[in-house]
Amino acid sequence: MISYIDEAGTFVSKGASENSWCTVACYSHPEFEKRKLTELLRKLKLDEGFSQDNEVKLKNISENGYINFLDRLSQLNGTLFCTATDSSFNSLDKINSHKNAYVESILRGQSEMKYDGGKEAMKILHKQLSGLPEQLYVQFHCQAVLLSSFIQRGIAFYVQRYPNSLKNFRWRYDAKELLKITDFEDSFQKFVPALLQAYSIDNPTAALDWCDYSPMNKFIGTIPDYLAEKIPELEGQEAFDIQKIIRDDIQFIDSKSSSGVQIADLLASGLRRLLRLEFNNNQLVAESFGKLLLQEKDNKPPISLVAFDGESEIDGDLAVIIKTLIRNCKRILK
């Protein structure tokens, strides 16, 4: 399984005006469709009057061309995951309160661990996360929610259809600098897998008992003793090793050399524009986007809406768009 991730927006909360949506998008597909993905992007560029060697942005593409691109993409076996946040609902106080709550959970986890190595790792993580700027924390939290959504729904979707695609997980991000790992990328690899593992304690991933998970054997392990002691019913149970899944193969690459990363950029930008209601025909674009997204339980929006200060404003025309996404999304159960 290969996944391409990119974001749109600045995630800056201070001074953010209403409707300051930011998005993180992940397009995942079985690797056997990689050539089809490359051909689809090539056709979009040629149809829009660009060379196949050009890297095109959403602003360069006609709305009809973009809708046609989404519709062709929906015919492949890929899926789209997205996290979105309106920065105007993310006050600095609420962001820090959220961060502090997680920092405290790290301290509790540290005290419950038996081995010095694990305790020391948690101590370092606690110190680094405490000093993380608010903007980066919001971005990392959105990244973690996005990847958690993939773990929760994507694995269930693909284990029913292409279980062998789950033997490996390759994650490809747009590199901010080509010659070195940036502070953001370094911090991402430290914090996001740990955030995900912590989230999974409260939101465990359900396994489908009629499916074959054997291709994922190297990502499945026994629940750690310190968690089993805390939750006795977990003793001896197996679970996904989420950090191992996320760390399996992470690369920050030049988007010019990757059709998948370019497509993730187009999808993140398109979803941001849709949430801002800035297309000429938002309804039609929402119908096309819905075909790429996966059903969420309890008929919730198939994109994860994050707000640190109350709820994101979902009413009026935006509520209609969200309902359109829900109505058109892919069903998880085969």
pLDDT of 120 above 60: no
pLDDT tens digits, 275-290: 999 999 999 999 999 9
Determine the Cα–Cα distance for residues 259 and 4; give it in Å rounded to an integer.
9
pLDDT tens digits, 5-35: 999 998 888 767 778 899 999 999 999 999 9
0.85 surpassed by pTM? yes
- Long-range residue pairs from 230-234, CB within 8 A, at least 24 positions apart, any chain: 230/112
pLDDT band at 117 (very low <50, low <70, confident <90, very high): very low
202-220: average pLDDT: 85
* Backbone angles phi and psi of 62, in degrees to 5: -70, 155
Cα–Cα distance list, 217 to 211, 220, 241, 244 (Å):
13, 5, 10, 11
Residue listed under structure tokens 């690797």: 31
